[in-house]
Amino acid sequence: MAKVERPLSPHLQIYRPQITSVLSILHRITGVALGVGLLLVSWWLIAAAAGEEYFTFVNGLMGSWFGRIVLFGFSWALFYHFCNGIRHLFWDIGKGFDKADVARSGQIVIAASVVLTLIAWIGAYA
């Protein structure tokens, strides 16, 4: 019996990225980032409870240029995940499934997360 060659299933190298797939993957990534970020926030709170010397050390790390980049990314992930969660709530009630609505709501989520992050950081340093 001759072996029948079956077609391979399509995979990521065949599909062109679409806003829905990119935002879905980004939602999962930001969820993981929030978990890691909450560990950092917990570390900061534990350091505050542990004493002034240890808190000064941890606070110095969080206030360094690298720590601020991490905190900025954490805050953007928080706002993105929040805004995209609201988008999913609308989907849960059956709203916004047209192609145009999906693309527009995705763009709104990106814009809102960036604007909210900038407002939070500008407000923190005002």
Q: Is the pTM of this model over 0.95?
A: no
Closest-CA residue to 116 (of 85, 77, 86): 77
- Position 76 pLDDT exceeds 90: yes
Task: Locate the domains of the chain by residue range.
Answer: 19-124
What's the pLDDT tens digit per position in 21-61? 899 999 999 999 999 999 999 999 999 999 999 999 999 99
Q: How many CB atoms neighbour CB 84 within 10 A?
A: 22
Structure confidence by residue, pLDDT tens digits, 79-123: 999 999 999 999 999 999 999 999 999 999 999 999 999 999 999
Query: Nearest to residue 19, comparing CAs of 87, 82, 65?
Result: 87
CATH number of the 19-124 domain: 1.20.1300.10
- What pLDDT score does 17 carry? 85
* Per-residue confidence (pLDDT) for residue 7, from 0 to 100: 64
Give pLDDT, residue 5: 77
* Packing angle, helices 19-50 and 99-124, rounded to 10: 30
